[in-house]
Amino acid sequence: MSHIVMFFGRECPHCKKMHPLIDKLEKETPVRFERLEVWHDEKNADLMRSYREAIAPKCGNQLRVPTFVNTETKDAMCGEVDFEKLKDWALKQA
């Protein structure tokens, strides 16, 4: 199973909306996410910065949250998405 990270901000409303969708996906499938907060944890922020090349082209050339990264393939998905899109992307990573 691939290692998928969700980079999020504690006060980002889009990230807040994604958490329940991830809970649901983790219940329904074997996919697991490591959720890392980036505005209150500099270590997590530096980790997100280290994936800039993978994230920026999908994120308006910036480091935006929420962002989902497959740390092995460096595939990334950016922004608030609906459950089906999240599921499709996550299952593709498996």
Measured between alpha carbons, how far is 59 from 54 in angstroms, rounded to an integer?
A: 9
For residue 12, report the phi and psi dihedrals to the nearest 5 degrees.
-95, 115
Taking CB under 8 A as the rule, which mask of x and - marks residues 16-55 in contact with other proteins? x---------------------xxx----x--xx--x---
Q: Which of residues 11 and 82 has its CB atom nearest to other proteins in the complex? A: 11
Q: DSSP letter for 65, please.
A: S
Peptide bond into 66 cis (omega under 30): yes
Residue selected from 9, 36, 54, 83 as contacting other proteins according to rule CB under 8 A: 9
Beta-bridged to residue 7, according to DSSP, are 36, 67
Residue selected from 20, 32, 34, 60 as contacting other proteins according to rule CB under 8 A: 60
Q: Enumerate binding residues for other proteins (CB under 8 A).
A: 7, 9-16, 38-40, 45, 48-49, 52, 60, 62-65
